[in-house]
A and B are shown apart, each in its own frame.
Chain A
Amino acid sequence: MLHAKVIDLEKEKIKPENAEEFIASSKFGASIVFYGTVRNNNENKKVTGITYDAHDVMVVKSFKEIYSETDQKLNIKDKSVFIEHVKGYVGLGEISIIIAVACPHRAEAYTLSRFIIEEIKKRSPIWKKEHYENEDSEWLKGNPIQAN
């Protein structure tokens, strides 16, 4: 079971309770909720916030592909996965991504959660523009996507 969405912060908020509610089930004995948040420092620069940009359709598509791959690559079939990523301005300590997973056992829940965030970093078309204390801002360098 998968929930995958890009949250446009100009229209709505990202809500941790939605994640917890989505993965709650008595058939699962292990749940992990991962929050990505904005930290105050990057490469010795004092960060004040991050603006996230996203290609919404391709992001959701990538989330679905990653979810589907966890069947084949990790052989984790019985699971519940909730993924939301924001776009728009995010202040210090605020949430940019929630990945909530639930599985029957803890080993597969840890593996699943880690796999999903690492794949999102590599494949999902999301960009960060960092804002600094001196009022500068810059788009962070990322990983190129290759055509198949």
Chain B
Amino acid sequence: MKVKVELYGASRDLSEKNFIEFNFDRKSSIKDLKKKILNYVDSNFKGNDNFKKIIESSAFCSEDDNIVSDNYEISKDQKIGIIPPIGGG
């Protein structure tokens, strides 16, 4: 199944597009998705520490725009938003 991770704030620096796509071959969770994104940073940005910190301190939101926990189940194609630490206003 395919997960499209929509990028916001500092995570936008992870790609020139507004998203990154990952494939999962079995039921997974946000925890698994985080690992995939960290591996993506290792492969594409030589393990850039700043990017890793951003991912580790980010929340994630579901397609229905709710913040979800690390155990949130990913069992079908969907969009997940990455929500880095916030600070607008």
Using a CB–CB cutoff of 8 Å, the interface residues on chain A facing chain B are 36, 52-55, 57-58, 61, 85, 96-97, 117, 120-128, 139-148
Contacts and interface: CB of A to CB of B under 8 A. Distances in A.
Contact of A142 (B60, B61, B68, B86): B86
Given A96-B89, A123-B86, A143-B85, 4 more contacts: A53-B8, A55-B8, A124-B88, A146-B67
B26 to A, nearest CB: 23
B68 A147 contact: yes
B14 to A, nearest CB: 12
B89 A121 contact: yes
Contact of A126 (B65, B67, B87): B87
Contact of A147 (B8, B13, B59, B87): B59
A145 B88 contact: no
Nearest to A62: B86
25 contacts: A55-B81, A55-B83, A58-B65, A58-B81, A61-B65, A120-B89, A121-B87, A124-B89, A126-B86, A126-B87, A126-B89, A127-B9, A127-B10, A127-B86, A127-B88, A139-B13, A139-B84, A140-B87, A142-B87, A144-B58, A145-B67, A145-B83, A145-B85, A147-B69, A148-B67
Contacts of B9: 53, 125, 127, 139, 142
A145 B86 contact: yes
Contacts, number: 87
A20 B10 CA distance: 34
Given A53-B9, A145-B83, A120 B88 contact: yes
Interface string B59-79: 111000101111000000000
Given A53-B12, A127-B10, A144 B85 contact: yes
A52 B85 contact: no
B81 to A, nearest CB: 6
B79 to A, nearest CB: 12
A41 to B, nearest CB: 17
Contacts of B69: 147-148
> Max chain B CB contacts within 10 Å: which of A96, A117, A141?
A141
